[in-house]
Amino acid sequence: MAIIPLELLAPAKDYQTGVAAINCGADAVYIGGPKFGARAAVGNSIADIEKLATYAHRYSSKVYLVINTLLYENEVAQAVALAHQAWNSGIDALIIQDFGLLETALPPIPLFASTQTNNTTPEKGKFLENAGFSRVILARELNLKQIAEIRQATSVPLESFVHGALCVSYSGQCYLSQALTGRSANRGACAQPCRMAYNLIDDKGNRIEKNQHLLSLRDLNLTNHIEELAKAGISSFKIEGRLKDEGYVKNTVRHYRSVIDKIIENNESFAKASSGNPTTNFTPDLERSFSRGFTNYFLDSRKEMASRFTPKSVGKRIGLVTGIEASSFKINTTERLSNGDGICFFVNQQLLGTNINQVEGNRIFPNSMEGITKGIEVFRNFDKAFNDSLSREVSRKVNATITLGMESGLTITAIDEDGIAASITIGEETTPSTNPEKATQTWIDQLSKGGDSMFNISGVSIEPTPAPFLPVGRINALRRELLNALEEQRVKNYYRETKQHIPTQHPYPEKELMFSGNVVNSYARRFFERHGSKVLQDGYELIPSNAGDTVMTTKYCLRYELGDCLKDRAPKEIQLPAKLFLENNGKRLALEFDCPRCEMKIKLT
């Protein structure tokens, strides 16, 4: 039976966040380079990426660089140069969207097909595998059955998002930001119009819903489905959040590390994907970091999933207001509140908030009493004590044993949990101890200390006993030298996979491509044409927007969200008008419902 390593993949907006993710137990991190990342605001230098790769590889963790935007003609050569620089810096794989890169002279680096390539079917997964991709990152919209079907049709490793913000559109298929603002989501510059407030109106202009965030989804949280995903064929579990801060990353990584470790412990089919164990000074709690509320999206069934009244973080519910005074209120809660906490609440479906200045038992003195009334439900969207605990350093230690051998001179050998070994021989003269038992114990005590190294010393043996006398300071110096040598050996032993990219000609699943094919350079056009697909239209970034354009396709359905699903209700029970529109600042977007496919389209008018 093949044993499958389960990878926990974390976001890193910068070097420091990447190190924190690894220390909290990430098996891999993904990070943006100087250009061409889908989060344009968080680029990093090659020097920092090289530092991160060196740090990660000590723990057998990996670093993936994202070049997951569409590339204009004059940018392709720059992206290829970046790929070579990144490979030389030590990264393990590239996450890409633009198929034009496969028409270039890339380094021998594994390629991962970004979720931006819209990977929803077994046919697409098989195509990508045959095209030479080393991993396929699946669309978030898939359910367990669909994931299992892709696994059955392919052998390429599969990756799935398990936590974080959700794009309401199928990834790579959203053109709303480009159409409204000229800022392309496929170019890393999304203006996030899906988080804006809209009115829902009919074709006569009658308002059905007013000023709601009708396209804003809650955050993904698949904590309770990780084992099901693993059994369906997922081997990499991805946390979204390259714009998130270090505290958020620490909390989410530590949480999912614990979840995955329990699954591995109870199932011999799975194994860890990297080495070492994290030690943290906090108990992870996902509700205490940025959260719009949680959904499991479509993984097991369709449920309500929108955050209609705010796109902001609401945080953890703490209780109901039970009494009001001029400058304070009482709250019924089991949570411990602190000075400096941020709290929020809804008043007439609008989110308001304030800070806590003082806490006296269950009586709270906020910075402002505006909007706070008896019976109102209060949430904490900033937990000062928890965030203070997240700011402390965390560490990750690899288990190792040390043996002092004396058969042919004094030799100290360290062997880590992966079987990697290092030895040093003591050249100086030693003298027998006048107290052999004490000398032996001194060796054991000093060699048992991992100190500031990356190792936890799980055992020390002296063969044979008794040990000779050496000063404590000298023993400690030898231990440090030994552990430094073991760390160097780990880096030297790290194996980085390579992949040669050979052009292929197998048929692409779609025979004709319109703007949703995302072809914005001649390299991508050549790729698709060689694979039997005719490019009928350039990508949306290169053509004018027109009324009737489908600028978003989503499995999320506003009719379902508002309790008026056309499939589940008889015609006489339908409450909403046949024609629906979203309206914001005088701009109107038409909604079209494809009930057989359970999809909603948003079109320009």
Report which of 361, 375, 380, 359 is spatially closest to residue 321, judged by C-alpha positions. Answer: 375
Q: For residue 532, is it within any domain?
A: no
Q: What is the DSSP letter of 94?
A: E
Q: For residue 525, is it within any domain?
A: no
* C-alpha distances in Å from residue 204, one per residue of 59, 207, 560, 593: 62, 9, 22, 19
Q: Is 70 exceeded by the pLDDT of residue 550?
A: yes
- What residues contact residue 468 under an 8 Å CB cut-off, 6+ apart? 406, 410, 430, 431, 432, 433, 439
CA distance 6 to 264: 8
Where a domain ends, among 390, 406, 438?
A: 390
Same structural domain, 365 and 412: no
CA distance 399 to 50: 25
Same structural domain, 155 and 229: yes
pLDDT, tens only, 479-492: 999 999 999 999 99
pLDDT, tens only, 482-522: 999 999 999 999 999 999 999 999 999 999 999 999 999 99
When pLDDT is cut at 50, 70 and 90, the band that residue 430 belongs to is: confident
Q: For residue 111, is it within any domain?
A: yes
Same structural domain, 133 and 235: yes
Same structural domain, 269 and 179: yes
Q: Is 70 exceeded by the pLDDT of residue 562?
A: yes
What residue numbers bound the domain in which 486 lies? 398-493
3-state secondary structure 335-374: CCCCCCCEEEEEECCEEEEEEEEEEECCEEEECCCCCCCC
- What residues contact residue 496 under an 8 Å CB cut-off, 6+ apart? 90, 92
The pLDDT value recorded for residue 571 is 65
Q: For residue 233, is it within any domain?
A: yes
Dihedral angle sign, alpha carbons of residues 27, 37, 292, 516: negative
Provide the 3-class DSSP secondary structure of residue 438. helix
Tokens representing 73 are 């003609």
Same structural domain, 281 and 152: yes
CA distance 29 to 61: 8
CATH number at residue 242: 3.20.20.70
Helix (H) or strand (E) holding 592: strand 587-594
Where a domain ends, among 477, 493, 509?
A: 493
Same structural domain, 405 and 383: no
Helix (H) or strand (E) holding 76: helix 76-89
Report which of 123, 5, 11 is spatially closest to residue 63, judged by C-alpha positions. Answer: 11
CATH number at residue 364: 2.40.10.170
Q: For residue 131, is it within any domain?
A: yes
Mean pLDDT of the chain: 95
Number of domains in the chain: 4
Same structural domain, 450 and 484: yes
Same structural domain, 164 and 25: yes
Tokens representing 590 are 């038409």
When pLDDT is cut at 50, 70 and 90, the band that residue 150 belongs to is: very high
Same structural domain, 366 and 428: no
Q: At what angle do helices 15-23 and 46-57 cross, to 10 degrees?
A: 10
Same structural domain, 409 and 357: no
pLDDT, tens only, 302-316: 889 999 999 999 999
Looking at the whole model, is its pTM more than 0.85?
yes
CA distance 514 to 536: 5
The pLDDT value recorded for residue 533 is 98
The pLDDT value recorded for residue 42 is 77
Where a domain ends, among 493, 523, 548?
A: 493
Q: Is 90 exceeded by the pLDDT of residue 40?
A: no
Q: For residue 309, is it within any domain?
A: no
CA distance 379 to 313: 10
Q: Per this entry, what is the length of the chain?
A: 605
Q: For residue 104, is it within any domain?
A: yes
Q: At what angle do helices 144-153 and 122-130 cross, to 10 degrees?
A: 40
Same structural domain, 352 and 481: no
| Percentage of residues of the chain with pLDDT beyond 70 | 99
pLDDT, tens only, 192-222: 999 999 999 999 999 999 999 999 999 999 9
The pLDDT value recorded for residue 504 is 96
Same structural domain, 276 and 326: no
Q: For residue 602, is it within any domain?
A: yes
Q: Is 90 exceeded by the pLDDT of residue 409?
A: no
Q: Is 90 exceeded by the pLDDT of residue 401?
A: yes
Q: Is 70 exceeded by the pLDDT of residue 572?
A: no
3-state secondary structure 556-578: CCHHHHCCCCCCCCCHHHCCCCC
